Structure 1
């Protein structure tokens, strides 16, 4: 898999999860809500872009995956499932890669993306002391 596809999926992931969390499977056919926040709106546009470029079988699969992700109520799971589906779609369709790249905001120069996923996970670019779990106390200097 190309680095371009991996980067696009990682960048699109939070938008997809937000849109599915907000609208569920209706995100695929719903008219964009003017009041929707930017994250949900972009996720909705990405999913609808994929939807429009799929055949009937591909649309059925997309609907099933989105419905499953919406029912799960676990952002890490939803992100993983939606990411796999988006990766497959991007591998099969160079035009979709171009359209998705045009939709996503350009990463800021020198920007860093840090993702934490799962219970008690930690994400930081720089960190001093981080404690996860029960019954742990920070060491005193």
Structure 2
């Protein structure tokens, strides 16, 4: 599998999972909602782009995969199922890779994870103070 496909799936996967989580199976047919979160909207556009590139059998397979992701309560599993489908779709269709590249935001994706009690996460931060009875430094 090419590096380009891995990067595209890495960028598109979280948006696709968010869209399926927000809209369920209706994500494939729902019209764009102006109030929708940017990530959900991006995921919806990506899924609809993949849908348009599939034949009838491919659309049925996409419906099945989205339905499976909707029924699953584990986001990691849903992400894996959707990412696997997206990888196969991108491998089979160079035109889809090109269109998806145009839809995704330029630059690299940043993933930040905070886990545990009182944990924090930030991409850019000046001062972060955690814990009990802490006072910020004076400037």
Q: Same fold (TM over 0.5)?
A: yes
- Large movers: runs of 4+ above 6 Å: none
* Distance in structure 2 (CA, Å) of the matches to 1:63 and 1:87: 16
- Deviation digits for residues 37-91 of structure 1 (CA, Å, limit 9, x no counterpart): 1000000000000001100110000000001101102110011000000000000
Find the residue that maps to 2:36 and give its secondary structure: coil
Q: Report the RMSD for the aligned CA atoms in angstroms.
A: 2.1
2:55 is equivalent to residue 35 of structure 1: no
Note the residue ranges of structure 1 that are not aligned, 5 or more in a row. 125-141
Partner of 2:110: 113
The within-5 A match list for 1:38-77 is 38-77=38-77
Give the C-alpha shift of residue 113 in structure 1: 3.3
* Distance in structure 2 (CA, Å) of the matches to 1:82 and 1:115: 21
Larger radius of gyration: 2
* Distance in structure 2 (CA, Å) of the matches to 1:68 and 1:86: 14
Partner of 2:79: 79
- TM-score, normalised to structure 1, is 0.77
Matched residues, number: 118
Find the residue that maps to 2:90 and give its secondary structure: helix
- TM-score, normalised to structure 2, is 0.78
Note the residue ranges of structure 2 that are not aligned, 5 or more in a row. 122-139
